[in-house]
A and B are shown apart, each in its own frame.
Chain A
Amino acid sequence: MKFSFFHLMPYPYLPDDFDEKYESSALTYPNANFDPQLGAALYARYLDELEYADKLGFDGIAVNEHHQSAYGLMPSPNLMAAALARRTERARIMVLGNAIGIRGNPLRVAEEIAMLDLLSGGRVDSGFVRGIGWEYFAHSINPTRSRARFDEAHDLIIKAWTSPELFSWYGANYEYRYVNIWPRPIQQPHPPIYIPGAGSTETMTFCAERKYTYMSVYAPTRIVRRWFDGYRQAAADLGYVPDPEKIAFSVPVYVADSDEQAHREARPALEWLFRKGLKQTPQMVTPPGYMSPGSLRGVLMSGLRGGGASSYEDLLANGLAVVGSPASVTERLRELYAELGGFGQLIGLFAIGPAGHDQIMHSAELFATKVMPVLRPLGVAADSATA
């Protein structure tokens, strides 16, 4: 099992009347509520937390991209990855990912990831995401083009990294007469690719065909199980069994010395994350064309649109968060491992909403020293274990 420390870099200072007054912490939530001084202090603190995770022995430290939102303060994950590249030594630097569905110029992503690969000595993992619904409003990108843009940008970036010679690109969304990037990445043929899945069978097949890592987004265990099974089936249809490492389970994790303390501290943090940070309207979640009508039907039937109403107890019971003492967290992750049919990577959101710096550092430390060593043997490919 590989473990990574994922950070959203939230802006937790929402006003007391947030719940009544605002539909969301994103898109239309006025940035007059953002205090740049506090924001600067948050960046320093959050980067310290990611650097500490590297020192603690996490296999990866992960950042991602969000726009116009208090939910996540990283419009450019590559900038944060660059800051980390020079201050860390061991951990993979995971950009999970660049929202190539909303990029005007995806070649820029190929260039920046190649730069990061050099800066980090080949430690970069490159996630590609479509960008979430509200970001199609925020960056004025037609959501009906989302999947086509994502697919084309992906193909372009991979070719830009791997083509041995200059080429031209003529696509429905992008045209370049000269693709010839400098620098090229260190990792060959290119940095590992991570793709989040939320139920689309096209995405499962897309990942399985290319042996990309398929990572879950936050959803109840029974649904994530369906996704992981779908990915495993897509690989089986192609005639292979995926390396467990190619299946990554994402979940918020909070560890404290006792169960009682962990729940007392995690409850407000998780409630903030799911009720405030992720508060959004159905129109923001699924702008028109972001999903096919058939996929929307699936989302509506599984109750994933909108979200935000789950109780703390439901979040825990449904595997949307793992909280407790080191022993309880170990036990619960073992359970989830079994319920999900196995996975080889755990992408833990340790910095949850308004949880304090000391709490997060302690949680990560307990996890690294008491949970990781016990779970490490899980989710390792049989052939690599015997090799």
Chain B
Amino acid sequence: MAADLAPADEFIELPGGRVHLLRGGAGEPVLFLPAAGGAGAWPSFPGLVAAAGFEVIVPDHPGFGKSDDFPEVEAIDDLVYHYLDVLDALGVARPHVVGGSFGGWIAAELAVHSPHRIGSLTLLSAAGLRLPEHPVADVFLMSPEKLAEALFRSPPAASAPPPGGPPDLDAVIAAYREATALARFSWVPYMSDPKLERRLGRITAPTLVAAPADDRLIPVAHARRYAQRIEGAAYAEVAECGHAMYAERPAEFAELVASFLLSHPLAESGASR
């Protein structure tokens, strides 16, 4: 698979502001809702999925990357309506939906709310469940260094800050803006919607639940619970990988996701409600 399909840089206008997105590849549409880090990038993972024969659309969440803040989007229920608006604005009726971490939580809520809009559902170490016996680590209290340690099973050397160098003020401010958006949606209840688990039975799309085996942020128990509660869900773990998932092992995750999508073409998949 080639990962060099250059994506188009686009904005769509919604009543509440502008949404920035990257779009690349050709084929069945895949809405990829990314994790809370790395907005606006076209890391190798979406490129690899696109190269498998899909049109991959990666929006920046409200308050992330080059998307506007959308201050009226206050909580997870608002995010669901936000992404229904995005799908409508894109003219995409029923895409494959792939979500990672925070984006996985949105994907699950979207599938619960509007099962008929989801061609297939892929949850990659998704947040969203409240499992008090397996708490999600507090990303808001971690220093950037601690966060990098928690994200990767083997943190890449490049993620270490330059020793003794002055901090990049613009980067600190941009990260604070995104953390602020994440906190708006997920400070309390922390990274979860206590009602989500009991609603998962509403999901009708073919579903893949996947997790990195060494997730130090969202314990693998969350993925297992998703797989238990979503009827017929496939379940996979990627070995020797941390929560950064498609950043740490992009090829493995792309392979896993692409083969799932290829085996569930939109025309055949997903009952309507």
Contacts and interface: CB of A to CB of B under 8 A. Distances in A.
A333 interface: no
B141 A137 contact: yes
Contacts of B183: 142-144, 287-289
Contact of B184 (A141, A144, A282): A144
A297 B173 contact: yes
Interface stretch (B80-88, B119-127, B174-182, B192-200): B174-182
A293 interface: yes
A315 B177 CA distance: 32
Contacts of A300: 167, 169, 172-173
Interface in B228-259: none
A283 B180 contact: no
Contacts of B174: 293
Interface of A: 28, 136-137, 140-144, 281-284, 286-289, 293, 296-297, 300-301
Contact of A283 (B141, B167, B188): B141
Nearest to B147: A283
Which has the most chain A C-beta neighbours within 10 Å: B169, B183, B188?
B183
Given A293-B173, A296-B173, A297-B173, A283 B182 contact: no
Of the four ranges (under 10, 10 to 19, 20 to 34, 35 or more), the interface on chain B belongs to: 10 to 19
Contact of A144 (B142, B143, B169, B187): B187
A141 B187 CA distance: 8
B141 A293 contact: no
Given A142-B187, A287-B183, A289-B179, 5 more contacts: A28-B141, A141-B188, A289-B184, A297-B169, A301-B169
Give 6 closest A-B pairs by Cβ, nearest first.
A288-B179, A288-B183, A289-B180, A142-B187, A288-B180, A144-B184
A287 B140 contact: yes
Interface in B141-168: 141-143, 167
24 contacts: A136-B187, A137-B138, A137-B141, A140-B187, A142-B183, A142-B184, A144-B180, A144-B184, A281-B143, A283-B140, A283-B142, A283-B143, A284-B141, A286-B176, A287-B140, A287-B183, A288-B183, A289-B180, A289-B183, A293-B176, A296-B172, A296-B176, A300-B169, A301-B169
A37 to B, nearest CB: 31
Contacts of B182: 288
A293 B188 CA distance: 21
A22 to B, nearest CB: 14
A293 B184 contact: no
B263 to A, nearest CB: 40
A190 B77 CA distance: 40
A284 B81 CA distance: 32
Contacts of A28: 141
A140 B173 CA distance: 24
Nearest to A283: B141
A294 to B, nearest CB: 8
Which has the most chain B C-beta neighbours within 10 Å: A136, A141, A287, A289?
A289
A102 to B, nearest CB: 12
A287 B182 CA distance: 11
A283 B172 CA distance: 12
A288 B147 CA distance: 15
Contacts of B167: 300
A288 B143 contact: no
Nearest to B138: A137
B162 to A, nearest CB: 17
A284 B141 CA distance: 7
A143 B188 CA distance: 10
B169 A288 contact: no
Contacts of B180: 144, 288-289, 293
